[in-house]
Every structure is written in structure tokens, then in C-alpha cells.
Amino acid sequence: MDTEGVHQLWDELSDFEAGQSSAAAARLMSWLCTASRAWNATWAGALRLPGPAEGDALQGWRVAAVQALHPVAPHPDEQHFKVILEAWERREIDPSFLLPMRGVGTFRSYSFRRELPAAWFSSPFYEQHYGRVGTVDAVFVAFPLNDDCESHFGFYSARSFTDEEIQLLMLALRGIKWFHRQLMLSHGLLLASSPLTATERRVLHLLLTKASEKEIGGRLEMATSTAHQHVTRIYRKFGVRSRAELMSIWLNSAG
């Protein structure tokens, strides 16, 4: 197992600036895909909503944000994976949806080939979302940040993952709680009152640099007044009154 490579990866992740969480996540997923011979990877931020409906097999959990390493044709960006999540939101329960429910609140991994029956791999759901794009197996690693918030990384391969590859994925993702926390924060999923919109995320990434509101507006091709409105909403969602208070959230590794 390449433990030295994992340590070097951790050092590399720590060099990314606070506003570069998406780029850092892409670097992490790229390295782990190479190490595990996976062809694609995703990150998902999961939240548990209060008062789940009676009989909800998913216990109120929803996926509030997703980032894919590679888009899956013919869909742009993360749309291929968002289609799967739409079925999750509609509570069209597929057996694969129940895997992350096992051991909620603990650091864990779960995989298709090891935990789903052989018949599932002949199902229309598997063929539509996985088989037709070449995914033979998928492994997920879940990192809980509190009782109602978890960070999940998924890896997709054209063959079955080996035990050693799964152990490497778990090792690499186990020792970076600070990084899981930053990913959740960057999407407004940990301490914010509601998830950030795509535009608010872009503003936030620049807000965590030295860019002024005028510079943020210029870079994002919006009026300074519009940039200010987004900044105000971001402050409100995080319950802060200034950029310094916002930055302190990222600097407070204890959460």
C-alpha cells in the first residue's frame, strides 16, 4: 500500500487555498482514481433533514451537493449523477440506495460487488445508470462530520475493486477530517442555514481570497452591487457579519 504517496497527497491538499476546494477535491479524486484504477469519482455532501416522513427508508437523508471528476457523456458536468439523485429524492428506492444507511454516523465503506446480490447487476437501474457507461463496480467511503452531515466519496471501475484498493481509499480519506469539513463548508452544508447556490459558491471562493467586491464582480461578470448582494446573502447564511468572521470559520479546524 502506497502510504507514503497518501501522506504526500495530504501535504499537497493542504497547499490549496480556502477558495480552491473544488480544485483540491478534483486533485484528490484524480490521485485516488489512478491509485485504485478507477475511471471516475464523485464527491457528495449528504444532509439529514429533521422530521423524516414515517417509513422513510432513507431516514431523511438527501444529497445536497455533488462534484464529479469527469462528466459522463452525453451529460455535461455532474448531470449523469444528478439523474440518479433525482430518483433518490423521489424515494424510488433502489437496493443501492440502502447501502449508505448501514452504519450511519460512522466512518465506513460500502461497495456494489461486495454488498449487492448478483441479480442487481441485471436490473434496469444498474444497466441505465452504471452498466451502459462501463461501471462494473463502485466503492464509496463515508465520513461523518456530525449526526446530520456526511461527506461521501465514490469511485467507479470497469472491474471489481480489490481489498487492497479499498483499504487504500479508506486510508487516504480517513485522515483528513479538515478537508471533508472544508468541502462541506464551501457548499454551505455544515454551518450555513441553507445550501449555497452555484453563483454564491463562485462568489464565496473569491471572497475567501483578497479580492474586493468590485474585483469579484469583474471576475464573475456581474455588477459590483450584484456581487455585494451575493456577499450579504452568504454572510447571512453563515451567520457572520464580516469577511474576517467568515474566514474564521475556515480557520477553526475544530468546527
Amino acid at 237: K
Amino acid at 41: A
- Residue 255: per-residue pLDDT: 40
Buried b (16+ CB within 10 A) or exposed e, 91-111: eeebebbebbeeebeeebbbb
- Residue 44: per-residue pLDDT: 95
Say how many residues make up the chain: 255
Looking up cell 450555513 gives 192
- Residue 48: per-residue pLDDT: 87
The beta strands (E) that lie in the chain are given as 40-48, 61-68, 108-111, 137-146, 149-157
- Residue 192: per-residue pLDDT: 67
Name residues whose C-beta falls within 8 Å of residue 117's C-beta, 6 or more positions apart in sequence: 95
Say if CB 25 and CB 183 are below 8 A apart: yes
pLDDT along the chain (255 residues), means of 10: 91 89 95 97 91 82 92 88 90 94 95 97 96 97 93 97 97 95 86 78 83 89 90 85 81 52
Name residues whose C-beta falls within 8 Å of residue 34's C-beta, 6 or more positions apart in sequence: none
Would you give the distance in Å from CA 14 to the centre of its chain?
A: 18
Buried b (16+ CB within 10 A) or exposed e, 6-16: beebeeebeeb
What are the cell numbers at 80? 449523469
